[in-house]
Every structure is written in structure tokens, then in C-alpha cells.
Structure 1
């Protein structure tokens, strides 16, 4: 399969998955059925209101309409920025909690400075290919190319 075809297929799958998640995440509020530690929301369980194991446009639209009305505080049928902010934050709550749990390695309910800085240490270890404690532009370019980024000086 040609690289363009593979990229196109990957983009298509990503867009479909993103659309399903965005359908609920942005206006979801609260936790998602089927979720759990380390797992994302299960769009099928969350939005399949008639329980037939399939998602329809109508089910997704009904869910979002319900959420729009929940966050439309002034009742005008629209979400202003302040109302949308509430919907967005509610929808991102599950993701935020998962990220917090990722940082809180010892499960203490608090993120220590060491836990918070741990990803920086891992990233530097990964990017600093020659082990000199610094990351150069060339090391970044090599890493970018290794992960499929632009070639020959394109940024």
C-alpha cells in the first residue's frame, strides 16, 4: 500500500474516532459509562440510548441537544462563550482526572514536584541522543524524521 493511502486511511479513522469522542466529550459532563482507570469513554455504551449495539445520527444529535440545553444557562437556544466553557470543562473532567492519576504515580491524591517533573526527565533522556545533557536542533531533526516528520529542512 502506498504511503499516501496509508496516511489517508489513518486520517479517516482518526477523524471518525475524534468525531465520536467529540460528540460526547465536549458536551458530555460527568464520567462516561464504560470508562475506568486508564480507559477512555466508551462512545457506543454512552450514546446507544436504545441499546441495540449501534450508533445513529439521531442518538448522537439527541444527546448533544440535551447537553446544549443543560449548559444554555440563559435559555436562548445558543451557547455563548461562557456557557460553552462550562460544557467544555465538564466534558474534559474525565480526561483531566486520568491525566492527574497518570502524574500521581504513588496514588497519594497529590502530585509531587518529582512526579510532575518526571515526564521532563523521560523526554530529555529520549531526545538527548548523544547523552551530553542537552538537546540540539540536529537531535530534534533526527527524532522528527524518525517519527515521520517533514524531510530536508521543512519545518
Structure 2
């Protein structure tokens, strides 16, 4: 059964998942955040089949999460680099990592110890906050009904 696409969905989460929500795409983005840029390096680090990696990189480029940059003479080599849109996924990836470390930790090794490059101090847990910086849980928020966008008459 084919998965329904939510390109026109009112749900921004569904639309975002269309762009980066599958297993391999998020891992490609994660490794791009670690500094991986070349096709062969993504393939080696992820252990991913060439056809799947090619598809995910193409989709991430099409969705402007990554950009393909020619770096070799006469376009003989290219690299994949995060765009601003891709870099904006950083807090999502960190939050997902923190959630995974809490609820599905590795039995063999300790979680990655992410640190602030400038101070060397550990980073805080990602949390949703109100406008005054106070933490919020799912029970503390509601969805405000919005006025739907109307199509302009031609």
C-alpha cells in the first residue's frame, strides 16, 4: 500500500515529514551536520545502498534541505552541503537524539555528549517554552483556530 502524500495538508508536521521524515533522509541530514559531504562518505558511514542514497540525496536537494556543489575540475566531483533550511533541522535532530537517549538508549555505549564549542559546557535538553521562557508540556498548550487563507480572485 502506498503512503499518502500530504503536500497540500493543513498539517505542517505531515508536510515536513514528506521532505525529511524517512529513516535514511534524517540520517543523511544528521551526517551532513557532522560534516559529511561526499556521496562515497555518506555511503560508507551509513552502510546505505547506492540507489537509496542517490534517491534520498536527490530528494533532499529537490526540497532545498541540501545543495549540490561542484568542487572538482570540470564538474567531476560534487559535495552535498546543508542549506539554511537544512541547518534549521538542528534542534529537531538534537531533540530526537535526546528523546532516543532517554527512551531507547544504547546498551553498549553512553549517549553522545554534545557540548557548546565556545564554553565546553554540555547543552541543555531541548524543551518547548512559553514566551517568558517557562517550560511547557503537551498539556499546557492548545491549538488556536486560525482563519483559513482564501484564494485571491483573478
The two structures have a TM-score, normalised by structure 2, of 0.25
Greater strand fraction, Structure 1 or Structure 2: 2
Bigger RCO (CA 8 Å, 6+ sep): 1
Greater helix fraction, Structure 1 or Structure 2: 1
The two structures have a TM-score, normalised by structure 1, of 0.25
